[in-house]
Amino acid sequence: MTSAALSVLDLVPVRSGVDGSTQTSAQAVAASMALAQRADELGYRRYWFAEHHNMPSVASTAPPVLIAAAASRTSRIRVGSGGVMLPNHAPLVVAEQFAALEAIAPGRIDLGIGRAPGSDPVITQLLRQSGTSGDVERFPSHVQDIALMLRHEGATVRFTSGGEYTVRATPMASDAPEIWLLGSSDYSAQLAASLGLPYVFANHFSGQGLQRALDLYRSAFQPSSVLETPRTFLTANVVAAPSADEAAARALPQLRMMTRLRRNQPLTPLESVEQAQRGLAEADAGEQTLVDGIRANWFIGEAGEVRTTLDAFAAQYGVDEIMISPVAGSFESEPLDATPGRVQTLELLAR
């Protein structure tokens, strides 16, 4: 079996420490920058930052800022967004930000674009106070606008009263970021196919409808100036460790966070492994059932077993790349400005 290339999706997790302390945003970002550097050294293909807002356990609120920081600390790996939630932003702003990133790290920038809000309804309204940029119905045209503005020749605005106006994301672009459309629904798969763009199914988020989305994308794909044939990869939540027991323990903090999301319970910073173990021991049967159900779609275990199942997963769905979200939690004794479990996952899976 051919080994799939591996990439990394980072939400910049924020966790609890000893005696009620909480990791600061600075410590969480420092840990993620160190992880990006290690991924670069280990030969991972790309490193993407997600966009989420107003969540105590997630510090990846501004992907372009994090991408710039990671680009300055790496030399080979592609860095990008997984993704920018486009309805939250004006297309021109996104185009200018990623054109600037392309100038900072030529040939290494990916622009992953999504349609979801990345937060709750209140935060969504605050993000979209600018008006028309938040019009979800215009998502397809906004994606096309960004692609045009990133090109050297730019996009042309035509006025109803007559006349034209050229808009460029940067005055003298030498190249453009690679644009990917992200999603977990039929809509995103069909839109990526119609626009001739590469597509990523967010398997780490749900996993439901995976085969149908890929079938729709591949069967309806229309060749474009940027892509002649369908191109896709999958995401997966992953924890690898020297033993299956350690991997299971390190997965618990994120599993319990996901159960709180599913049950609409108040969110907190990620628990330490010890906190999660104590919490699960006292949990009701409903939480244990949810944990077991969520875990069934994750890749958790001893390193060799996890790598084998990831390669089999890639082969099953006909992709040559898996983007892993390393969701390994930390023990209380581990430093707040590092994530040894996530580093360990990347190191053990690298080939």
pLDDT digits (tens, 9 = 90+) for 179-190: 999 998 899 999
Record the pTM: 0.92
Cα 97–Cα 37–Cα 51 angle in degrees, nearest 5? 40
Q: For residue 125, give both structure tokens.
A: 């309204």
**Beta carbons of 302 and 228 less than 8 angstroms apart:** no
CA nearest 44: which of 218, 197, 238? 238
**Amino acid making up residue 59:** A
How many Å apart are CA 313 and CA 310, to the nearest integer? 5
How many Å apart are CA 58 and CA 66, to the nearest integer? 13
CB atoms within 10 A of CB 162: 6
Residue with token string 């996993």: 207
pLDDT digits (tens, 9 = 90+) for 251-294: 999 999 999 988 988 889 999 999 999 999 998 888 889 999 99
pLDDT digits (tens, 9 = 90+) for 145-161: 889 888 877 777 776 56
5-349: CATH, from 3.20.20.30, 3.30.930.10, 3.40.50.261, 3.90.1150.10: 3.20.20.30
DSSP E strands, the chain: 5-10, 46-49, 78-85, 109-114, 155-158, 164-167, 178-183, 199-201, 232-241, 299-302, 321-326
Residue 119: pLDDT over 70: no
Q: For residue 99, give both structure tokens.
A: 């054109």
Residue with token string 């939480």: 287
